[in-house]
Amino acid sequence: MKNKKIRELILGKALDPMRSETRHSMALVAFLAWVGLGADGLSSSAYGPEETFRALGAHTHLGLYMAVATAITVFIIALAYNQVIELFPTGGGGYRVATKLVGPYMGLISGCALVLDYVLTIAISIASGVDALASFLPLGFQPYKLWAEVFFIGLLIVMNLRGLKEAIQILLPIFVGFVITHLILIVYGVYAHAENLPGLVPSTLNETVSLAQGIGWTGVAGMLLLAYSQGGGTYTGLEAVSNNVNLLAEPRVRTGKMTMLYMALSLAVTAGGIIMLYLLWDAQPVAGETLNASTFKSIINHMGLGGPMLNQLLLAVVLAFEAGLLFVAANTGFLGGPSVLANMAADSWVPHKFRYLSTRLVTQNGILVMGLAALAVLWWTGGSVTLLVVLYSISVFLTFAISLFGLCLYWVRNRKKNRRWFGRFLLSLVGFTICAGILALLLIERFAEGGWATALIIGAIAAMCVVVRNHYRETKRAIHSVDEVFASQPFGSNTEAVEPDPQDQTAVFIVGNSRGGGLHALLWVQRMFPGHFKNFLFINARTVDSHAYGGEGALEQMRSDAETTLEYFVDFCHSHGMASSSYLGFGTEAVEEVTRMCEEISNEFPNAIFFTSKLIFSSDNWFTRALHNQASLAIQRRLHLEGLQMVILPMKV
């Protein structure tokens, strides 16, 4: 009881997953989704535009092309991913697109890349944010940066375990502060050089022609492509909405498209605007400062709002919001990563427990794994943002390329069903060409600098997923064979229902989806205790996981399937003249729900003994225990503590 109170104090009170009001109260409207999911993309403006501009070297006039190309690319990718939201309104994004449209194994690669992407989203955002904060502190703080990163990740884990809306609402002021301060600086920065804007395009074209005469047009194109690919991190995060459509308020597709519009507009204006500021204010690298910091300092000084002290304070506020947004962006990893793992768990690529929801209706196993993995990456890289950016960009553009290739295939296959197929195909093709090109350039240029690590990590995760899925397939095949053995069990001739007498000896069977498992337990009890039990009760506690809770109508379908299974057992008993009835419950934790139901039944039927089957593997080890929950043992322990008798019947597979 004491532990339960401490848990509620830290994580909040348990929520009822079966109440429709709960789902609606947790679903994100477009604005909150923009905050929770859009921060990842928007935060990339803290480092993406700078990487682009630095790659231009002394030829900064080319920044105009980069500003335009950045804004256009953002909208192309965003519009392409709107198609993903339409086609897959239950979420899954890049993973679901690749699985359904290209193939399961390409879906696996996309899913592994996405999981790594979200882990790196947390790691790079926290590392960049701590770096920004450390710039205001004495040099003596530097050795403690890693511990600060550990603290912030731990804080975000707790916030997300409390529930996604609570985490977003806490971080909302930081997000809004970033948007307002940066919008003011961009608008003023461009307005202050308004007199130079009419001549900017002609002068840029003249300088480009002069440069081409010296190094050739091929050289100019190569320079632009290099700068374009170096700033590829700018576009990361745009896929977040399509991955998490299941978190959005109804109507989901419309909410998703509105969220994507907010994201595209904010990122295009911010990233493209910052590159324009670099160009107009002649940004130059300053030791110990980012290009954003030095450019913003010049703009604030030009505003003439006060003396040096006030200007320094205003700059500190702007950079603090920038650092804060990076922490908000890290939160996207805790929203998107568990969602991808839950979708992969539904397809048995990863342990099924990644689908399970906590009492706060969040996928707590996914949240914990994402946080711990981000900590491991930070310890491994020492918090090096340079290395993290390489790992991050490659994983993101691998997912982009696979998803957009899948969309191209989809529109070609369905060209006869949709009159507007060609325009959508063309949009997907342009997006695929851009993303595949950036991916190829990053792999070629950065392979030795960390690109090999990305390929190795994705390959290792994929290999583990294949092993996990093969195990689940073998187990499913074995359970199916058990079901087939018991499928031939004949029903009796009795057609009347027999009601249980609460005072008679009662056998209560805890059953799941397998009819064979339930009949195995029933027939075993009858054989071992012939004529002893008069009542035969069946209980089923369905786990409300992320798949059931997120999909429209999924809860109703789950209830219908469970009732059909229970009805089968009761009808079987009635046909043989045995008193029988069934009980159905729903909860996020099977052990808790089954224990509660068993206690209620024992009050009504004081002479009850509980039975359930447990899968027994010929080679039981840590691997099988990790993939299969030990619910039967946990339930038995809980019931024994309550003074209730329970027997576990082994079922070898």
- Phi, psi (deg, nearest 5) at residue 638: -65, -40
Report CA-CA distances (Å) from 196 to 190, 191, 281, 300, 610: 9, 10, 11, 19, 83
**Dihedral sign, CA of 258, 260, 261, 265?**
positive
Give me the pLDDT at residue 140, please: 64
pLDDT at residue 23, as a whole number? 43
Strand-strand pairing, 535-543 and 579-587: parallel
Tokens in use for 276?
A: 């324009």
DSSP state of 198: T
The CA–CA distances, whole Å, from 336 to 39, 262, 370, 489 equal 12, 18, 10, 46
Judge contact between 559 and 327, C-beta under 8 A. Answer: no
Nearest to 40 by CA among 159, 144, 122: 122
What pTM does this model have?
Answer: 0.71
For 33-43, the pLDDT digits (tens) are: 777 777 777 87
Q: What is the pLDDT of residue 18?
A: 44
pLDDT tens sequence across 134-143: 666 666 666 7
- One-letter amino acid at 305 equals L
Segment among 82-91, 365-374, 405-414 with least mean pLDDT: 82-91
Residue 234 near residue 45, CB atoms below 8 Å: yes
* Rounded Cα distance, 598 and 510, in Å: 9
Using the structure block, give the residue that is written with the tokens 């593997």: 617
Cβ–Cβ < 8 Å for 352, 341: no
381 Cβ neighbours under 8 A, 6+ residues apart: 123, 387, 388
Model confidence pLDDT, tens digit, residues 271-285: 888 888 888 888 777
Name the phi and psi angles at 611, rounded to 5: -135, 150
Three-state DSSP class for 218? helix
pLDDT at residue number 362: 54
3-state DSSP percent of the chain in helix, strand and coil, to 5: 75, 5, 20
CA distances to 96, 133, 303 from 310, rounded to whole Å, are 51, 19, 11
Burial of 321 (C-beta count, 10 Å sphere; 0-12/13-18/19+) = buried
**Residue found under tokens 């205003």:** 314
The tens digit of pLDDT for each residue in 467-500 reads 989 988 888 787 777 667 666 778 888 888 889 9
The phi, psi pair for 491, rounded to 5°, reads: -80, 155
Distance, in Å, from the CA atom of 283 to the CA atom of 524, rounded to the nearest integer, reads 80
Q: Residue 436 pLDDT > 60, yes or no?
A: yes
Nearest to 135 by CA among 319, 371, 370, 387: 319
Confirm if 576 and 494 have CB atoms less than 8 A apart.
yes
Nearest to 272 by CA among 77, 81, 73, 31: 73
Asked if 508 and 611 count as a contact pair (C-beta separation under 8 A), the reply is: yes
pLDDT given at position 642: 81
Token pair belonging to 243: 């991955």
Q: Report DSSP state, residue 650.
A: E
Pairwise CA distance, residues 454 & 464, whole Å: 16
Assess whether pLDDT exceeds 80 at residue 443: yes
Peptide bond just before 502 cis, omega within 30 deg: no
Length of the chain: 653
Show the CA angle centred on residue 244, arms to residues 240 and 245, nearest 5°.
Answer: 115
Q: Where are the alpha helices (DSSP H) in 88-144?
A: 93-101, 104-134
Tell me which residue of 342, 313, 371 sits closest to 121, measured CA to CA.
371
Contact 451, 398 (CB under 8 A): no
What's the mean pLDDT in 127-135?
Answer: 72
pLDDT per residue as tens digits for the range 307-321:
788 888 888 888 888
Residue 453 above 90 pLDDT?
no
The residues, ordered by sequence, that sit 6+ positions from 202 with a Cβ below 8 Å of its Cβ are none
Q: Helices then strands (H, E): number in the chain?
A: 24, 5
Give the tokens for residue 71: 């804004």
The token pair that represents 318 in the structure block: 């702007």
**Bridge partner residues of 543 (DSSP):** 587
pLDDT mean over 168-195? 84
- What does the block give as tokens for 204? 């840029």
Q: Which domains does the chain have, with CATH numbers?
A: 30-451 (1.20.1740.10), 489-652 (3.40.50.620)
Handedness of CA 377, 293, 184, 320 (dihedral sign): positive
Q: Is the pLDDT of residue 457 over 50?
A: yes
Give buried/exposed letters for 616-653 (b at 16+ CB in 10 A, else e): ebeeeeeeeeebbbebbebbbebbeeeebebebbebee
At 549 the pLDDT is 47
* Helix boundaries (H) for 353-451: 364-381, 385-413, 421-446
Q: Is the pLDDT of residue 430 over 80?
A: yes
Residue 507 has pLDDT above 90, yes or no: yes
Share of the chain above pLDDT 70, in %: 83
Helix (H) or strand (E) holding 550: helix 546-550
